[in-house]
C-alpha cells in the first residue's frame, strides 16, 4: 500500500515537472514547437537580446545568406537599442517578447505581475519597431497555469507562445562542433531552432549553421509567414 502511494506520488511529481519544464508538453500553454510542413524550411530564433554588437554581427551574417530569423527580446535590454530594433523590423526580422527581466523568479510571480511584464516588454518593442509583437518565448521554456492565466489577461494582445524543435544549448557550450551536432540531430522540415547571439563567438557557429542548412537544401524563413 505504502509502496503504491510512493509510486503514485513519484509519477505525479514527474508529470508536473514535465508539464512545466518541457516547452512542448502543451499541458498549460499551447506552444508552437514546429511548423507543420513537408517543405525544407526552418525558423531560426535568437533569445536574450538585444546584445548590441553581437546582434549586429549575427544580423549581418543572416543578411549575407538571405536568411530570416526571430529575436526574442529581454525588455530591460531594449533602452538604448531602439534604433537597432527599428532597423531589424524594417529588414524583415521578427521581434518577439522574452519578458522584461528574464529572472529565475519569473515563473513564480503572480499572473497579474507576469502579464504586466509581458505588456511592458511588448510596449517597448512596439515603441521602437512600430508594431506590436505577435510572438512570445517563455524564458527557460517553462510554462505553468500562472503563465497561462497571465497570457489570458492580455486579452486580444495575447502573443502566441513559440517553443523550439532544436535547442542548441549554445549558452552552455558556444562552440561550432557542439551546436552543429545538436542541429544535425534535430533538423527536419518546419524545425524551430533556438540559439543565443549574445554568446561570445556566436558569429562563428551562426555562419556554420547557415552554411550547413544551405548544403541540406533548407531555407530560413520568417515566423511572420506562418
The residues of the shown chain that bind Zn ion, judged by CB under 5 A, are: 47-48, 139
Shortest distance in whole angstroms from residue 216 CB to Zn ion: 27
Smaller CB separation from Zn ion, 195 or 209: 195
> Between 133 and 139, whose beta carbon lies closer to Zn ion?
139
220, 68 in Cβ contact below 8 A?
Answer: yes
Q: Residue 22 or 214: which CB sits closer to Zn ion?
A: 22
Least distance to Zn ion, CB of residue 175, Å? 19
Which residue lies nearer to Zn ion by CB, 68 or 102?
102
Q: Which residue has the cell 557542439?
A: 178
Q: Work out how close the CB of 138 gets to Zn ion at its nearest, in angstroms, rounded to a whole number.
A: 9
Q: State which residue has the least CB distance to Zn ion.
A: 47
CB of 160 to Zn ion, least distance (A): 17
Q: What is the phi/psi pair of residue 22, to 5°? A: -95, 115
Q: Is the dihedral of CA 177, 181, 187, 192 positive or negative?
A: negative
ω into residue 50 within 30 of 0, thus cis? Answer: yes
Residues 6+ apart with CB under 8 A from 225: none
- CA dist., res. 168 & res. 91, Å (int): 25
Amino acid at each position: 500500500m505504502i509502496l503504491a502511494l510512493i509510486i503514485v506520488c513519484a509519477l505525479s511529481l514527474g508529470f508536473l515537472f514535465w508539464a512545466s519544464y518541457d516547452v512542448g508538453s502543451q499541458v498549460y500553454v499551447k506552444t508552437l514547437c514546429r511548423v507543420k510542413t513537408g517543405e525544407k524550411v526552418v525558423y531560426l530564433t535568437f533569445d536574450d537580446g538585444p546584445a548590441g554588437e553581437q546582434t549586429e554581427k549575427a544580423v549581418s551574417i543572416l543578411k549575407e545568406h538571405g536568411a530570416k530569423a526571430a529575436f526574442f527580446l529581454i525588455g530591460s535590454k531594449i533602452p538604448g537599442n531602439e534604433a537597432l530594433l527599428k532597423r531589424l523590423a524594417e529588414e524583415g526580422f521578427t521581434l518577439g517578447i522574452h519578458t522584461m527581466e528574464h529572472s529565475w523568479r519569473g515563473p513564480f510571480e503572480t499572473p497579474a505581475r507576469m502579464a504586466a511584464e509581458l505588456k511592458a516588454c511588448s510596449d517597448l518593442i512596439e515603441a521602437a519597431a512600430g508594431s506590436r509583437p505577435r510572438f512570445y518565448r517563455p524564458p527557460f521554456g517553462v510554462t505553468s497555469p500562472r503563465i497561462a492565466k497571465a497570457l489570458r489577461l492580455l486579452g486580444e494582445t495575447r502573443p502566441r507562445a513559440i517553443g523550439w524543435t532544436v535547442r542548441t544549448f549554445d549558452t552552455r557550450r558556444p562552440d561550432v562542433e557542439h551546436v552543429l551536432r545538436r542541429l544535425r540531430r534535430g533538423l527536419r522540415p518546419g524545425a524551430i531552432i533556438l540559439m543565443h547571439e549574445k554568446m561570445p563567438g556566436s558569429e562563428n557557429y551562426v555562419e556554420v549553421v547557415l552554411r550547413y542548412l544551405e548544403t541540406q537544401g533548407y531555407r530560413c524563413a520568417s515566423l511572420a509567414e506562418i
